[in-house]
Amino acid sequence: MGHRTTGTSTRGACQGIVPPYLLEALARSGSLDPERVDRTLQVDARNRARRAAALAAAPSRPSPRAARAAEARPQRTVLDASSGEPQPARAEGDPPVGDATVNRAYDGLGETFAFYRDVFERDSLDGAGLPLRAQVHVGRRWDNAEWDGEQMLFGDGDGEVFGDFTASLDVIGHELTHGVTQYESQFVYQDQSGALNESMSDVFGSMVRQYSAGQTVERADWLIGAELLLPGVHGVALRSMKAPGTAYDDPRLGGKDPQPAHMRDYVRTADDEGGVHLNSGIPNLAFYLAASALGGHSWEGAGRVWYAALTDPATSSTSTFAQFAAATVRLAGEAADAVGSAWTKVGVTPAAT
């Protein structure tokens, strides 16, 4: 197992789609004004505190109400925070407005809701019809998107490296899945359980996009945040699930994508809550390998196994990779060999709790 360390201590770690080490790399490279990066990290820190409070207040294990497709409907509200004080911009059932960012947020909330309802019979993030609320144009050129424990927050991006954070459906699905995890496994946001928290959001965020596009495993690009990087950035996305460590290679972003793809390269660090955005590449690749082995639509094969493990009462909030892997193998039925093989290929041996 690797023992690399990365970067310096983060100034307000976050659970946003853009990890703090990327933001700090932008400041060090001079690509972005360090004061602007500090403002972003301060917003991230405040949002992280709100999400921690929401998690602490959440029930230990809710009893989701299975949604019937004919009855479950999203309850969306999108607010415009560009003036500093959020103002209503679009409510459930309203027609599109003149602001494309508002419309993308509204549509992304709906597509994520439809995915969980239609595929897993889940009625919103909590399984009991939780209204979906989002704020757009948050902060001043804020470089992130986050679920803060109660609502979605979207920045407009800096306009140089990152663009509008509503542009990527898998990012919206990723952040809303943090809400599902909040009501289910409640993975502690530290070390391996924190990396599982991030991986669940990448896994289900990618499936939201694949489901919306009707893509098979073979046709999907397995990228997270491909639409966020602006022209001139040497990279294809924030992360690659099928090839962790290859998403970008740009000095403005700190050089090469540092995500490991195997346990031998596991990153031990005090930064990023123990490397939660880094080491999530390992379970991400395990999911991709399992989905590829099973073929077809990811949400009909490996996705059902991962959802069963995420929502299994036996899954602990402090689960390690090996423990979560064991849960997926146990719940995989006839696909157990394919799922177990996927974990073995990334250096994780499924082990009972």
Residues that are catalytic: 175, 277
Please give the structure tokens belonging to residue 45.
């820190």
CA separation for the pair 253, 257 (Å, rounded): 8
Give yes or no for a contact between 8 and 25, defined as CB atoms under 8 angstroms apart. Answer: no
How many CB atoms are located within 10 Å of the residue 349 CB? 12
Q: What are phi and psi of 303, to 5 degrees?
A: -60, -40
DSSP state, 153?
A: E
The structure tokens 């799922």 sit at: 339
* Residue 204: exposure state from Cβ atoms within 10 A (0-12, 13-18, ≥19): buried
Q: What are phi and psi of 235, to 5 degrees?
A: 175, 170
How many CB atoms are located within 10 Å of the residue 151 CB? 20
Over the range 38-58, which residues count as b (16 or more CB within 10 Å of their CB) and which as e?
Answer: ebbbebbeebbebbeebbeeb
